[in-house]
Chain A
Amino acid sequence: MYVIERIILGSIWGVTLISIFFVPKQLIRKASFIYFFTQLPAWLLGLLVVEIGWIQYPVREMHKANATSFSFEFLILPVICVFFNIYYPKDSRLSIKLLYYITTMGAFTLAEYFIEKYTLLIKYLQWDWYDTFLSMVIMVYAVRSVYKWFFREVKPLSL
């Protein structure tokens, strides 16, 4: 049952867990903050979109306990935010920064679009690919702002 979905989920877990080892050692403390902080809004918002009925996750872990996607909210999204912040081009021009947002979140949106189309991992009920893109951009920006505020960088709200 759901062979493709389980292969995708398993490989995502594998890739994500291995990628954690590529976090530079001197950044582990900051990365751990980003990792844990991302889960805070992700848990709440993930519950909300499922409760309202915008998104459905037919194939998921902990099927009985949780109707939201555990792997996305507790593993994939935090790790995305960690690497997004590690490789953020903070000394570049504004246009480069905007391009960075668009390409990284665009790639994610594209991946989710195809996963939605061809598998049962996620189903959009009242949702579209641009909602994913927008919410991801806002989410990543918010996490980055809090991260900068927490580590006392200047102008936490700037791009």
Chain B
Amino acid sequence: MLIIRSLVLVIRHFFAGSIYLSSALPIREFQRATEVNFVPQFIFYPMLFTWFILLFPDKRSLFTKIMHYILFVSIMVWFIYFTAKYSDIYKFLGGTEFSRLANGYVRNFLQFAGCHLYISWFFKKEIVAEE
């Protein structure tokens, strides 16, 4: 039950930071209302982050945790990379192949780390016990 509850929060939290984009999104759901696409921002990335939190190896070694980060950040980065390459959902404006990937890794890592920090603060046991 708690897991389902946390999903609501996690879903919400994730896309708050994802409005700023250095790219264009020609194919999108709300053509008039926004230049940003909706389903990836609203459902897909939050879902990815939800699984990131649910599967996070809290009790394992630092190495496993780092690998967990790399895995999930890579899914994000390469998803965007390939949709940009083979479809019009994503379109990068400027930058070299390497700079796009590096940028994607840094930005998504910061996003995951920030959200992870918030989630772990939110579910910290002491704070829960206090209330």
Where the two chains meet, the residues of A that have a C-beta atom closer than 8 Å to any C-beta of B are 26, 29-30, 32-33, 36-37, 39-40, 43-44, 46-48, 50-51, 53, 62, 64-68, 70, 74, 146, 149-150
Contact = CB atoms under 8 A, between A and B. Distances in A.
A33 B130 CA distance: 16
Q: How large is the interface on B (under 10, 10 to 19, 20 to 34, 35 or more residues)?
A: 20 to 34
B122 interface: yes
Contacts of A64: 35
B113 interface: no
A40 B19 contact: no
B16 A68 contact: no
Nearest to A62: B19
B9 interface: yes
B34 A47 contact: yes
B12 A39 contact: yes
What is the predominant secondary structure among interface residues of chain A facing chain B?
Answer: helix
B33 A51 contact: yes
Q: Max chain A CB contacts within 10 Å: which of B9, B11, B31?
A: B9
B131 A33 contact: no
A40 B36 contact: no
A36 B12 contact: yes
Nearest to B46: A40
A71 B127 CA distance: 30
A39 B42 CA distance: 11
A47 B8 contact: no
A66 B122 contact: no
B13 A66 contact: no
B33 A68 contact: yes
Nearest to B13: A36
B122 A47 contact: no
Contact of B34 (A40, A53, A67, A149): A67
Contact of A47 (B21, B38, B127, B130): B38
A34 to B, nearest CB: 10
Contacts of B131: 26, 29-30
Contact of A66 (B35, B127, B130): B35
B16 A65 contact: no
B33 to A, nearest CB: 4
B63 interface: no
A32 B34 contact: no
A150 B12 CA distance: 14
Given A40-B11, A64-B35, A66-B34, 9 more contacts: A39-B16, A46-B33, A48-B30, A48-B33, A50-B34, A65-B19, A66-B19, A67-B33, A68-B34
